Amino acid sequence: MFHMKVIKAKTHKEAGYLAADEFEKVMEKKADCVIGLATGSTPLPFYDELIQREKNRALSFSSVRTVNLDEYVGLEAEDPQSYRYYMQKNLFDHISIKRENILIPNGLEKDKETLCRKYENQIEVWGGIDIQLLGIGHNGHIGFNEPDDFFAVSTHEVKLTEKTRKANQRFFKSPNDVPKSAITVGIGTIMSAKKIVMMAVGGDKAEIIKKAFCGPVTPKIPASILQFHPNVTLICDEAAYMGFY
Ligand code: F6R
């Protein structure tokens, strides 16, 4: 492990609180900062905390720009399983963010190549991501960058592994409803973020945390590349932190 700062939180809720502290620091310095966001179960207390802090006037989203990591291919924005829907319900509907300041891949776009190129361009036009939130998959994926023989650099369409489809099955009515592919930012997009905050909670994440941060950097464990990022804060709850023992 190189530059990484590791913080142990007592609970999932506290992990969300501590992650919100990191974002608040960036938002305080730069009202129109660009923040990278993730979906999944891990960030939920983090989003609750951000909503609360804006209500308490500790921070404001009125000039903030957001970039999401990924979206399923083939789901409408209104589909309760889409990441757009997740973001609306868990964060955007409750804060002062402007619609035009939200960047999330359109899973229905037919021309995926143009979509991906425009996505990267928009991030560049906004001046890059100031702070990126990440969760981690059981196989070490970040965004939907799955284990592979190489690190995919920029935003692209990705076929989901059976492991990931299984892990996400719980959210769908039947296993067949789980989309087969997604659009995700690349490892290069993530590594270009000025600061990265990863949250990892639950004993089921301990093993992958150990592999990703105490083992070799390899595209077989995409999150391991974060060992080369100069400004990563990893926030674990007690169970995930056990991976370091
Ligand atoms: C979601 C994302 C994924 C999740 C990961 C962990 O936008 O990018 O990489 O962060 O699958 O998911 P949870 O938090 O549900 O364990």
Tell me the C-alpha distance between 112 and 137, whole Å: 24
**pLDDT score of 114:** 97
| Nearest alpha carbon, ligand 1 atom 4 | 135
**pLDDT score of 195:** 98
Pairwise pLDDT comparison (160 vs 92), residue with the higher score: 92
Tell me the C-alpha distance between 73 and 112, whole Å: 10
Q: How far is CA 2 from CA 44, 73, 169, 184, 216, in A?
A: 28, 36, 35, 26, 12
Residue from 12, 35, 37, 39 whose mutation best tests the ligand 1 pocket (most atoms within 8 A of CB): 39
Tell me the C-alpha distance between 157 and 112, whole Å: 7
Nearest-5° Cα angle at 22, 17 to 28: 115
Q: Which residues lie with the beta carbon below 6 Å from any ligand 1 atom? A: 38-42, 69-70, 135-137, 141-143
Indicate if 21 belongs to the active site. Answer: no
Which tokens belong to 43?
């960030």
**pLDDT score of 202:** 98
Cα 141 to ligand 1 centre (Å): 8
Sheet holding 131-134, edge to edge: 5-9, 232-237, 195-200, 131-134, 34-37, 65-68, 102-103
**pLDDT score of 171:** 83
Q: Is the pLDDT of residue 237 over 80?
A: yes
Q: Is the pLDDT of residue 1 over 60?
A: no
**pLDDT score of 170:** 87
Please answer whether residues 103 and 71 qualify as being in contact, where contact means their C-beta atoms are separated by less than 8 angstroms: no
Tell me the C-alpha distance between 112 and 245, whole Å: 43
Query: Residue 160: which pLDDT band, with cuts at 50, 70 and 90?
Result: confident
pTM of the model: 0.96
| pLDDT tens-digit series, residues 59-115 | 999 999 999 999 999 999 999 999 999 999 999 999 999 999 999 999 999 999 999
| Strand blocks (E) in 42-127 | 65-68, 70-72, 102-103
| pLDDT tens-digit series, residues 183-221 | 999 999 999 999 999 999 999 999 999 999 999 999 999
Indicate if 141 belongs to the active site. Answer: yes
Q: Is the pLDDT of residue 161 over 70?
A: yes
For residue 132, give the H/E element and its range.
Answer: strand 131-134
- Nearest Cα residue to 201 out of 5, 53, 44, 4: 44
Cα 166 to ligand 1 centre (Å): 13
Q: Which residue has the tokens 């990703």?
A: 212
| pLDDT tens-digit series, residues 119-156 | 999 999 999 999 999 999 999 999 999 999 999 999 99
Catalytic site residue from 14, 54, 120, 146 = 146
Tell me the C-alpha distance between 19 and 24, whole Å: 9
Please answer whether residues 144 and 182 qualify as being in contact, where contact means their C-beta atoms are separated by less than 8 angstroms: yes
| pLDDT tens-digit series, residues 9-53 | 999 999 999 999 999 999 999 999 999 999 999 999 999 999 999
DSSP secondary structure code for residue 105 in this structure? -
Tell me the C-alpha distance between 164 and 137, whole Å: 8
Cα 38 to ligand 1 centre (Å): 7
Tell me the C-alpha distance between 5 and 2, whole Å: 9
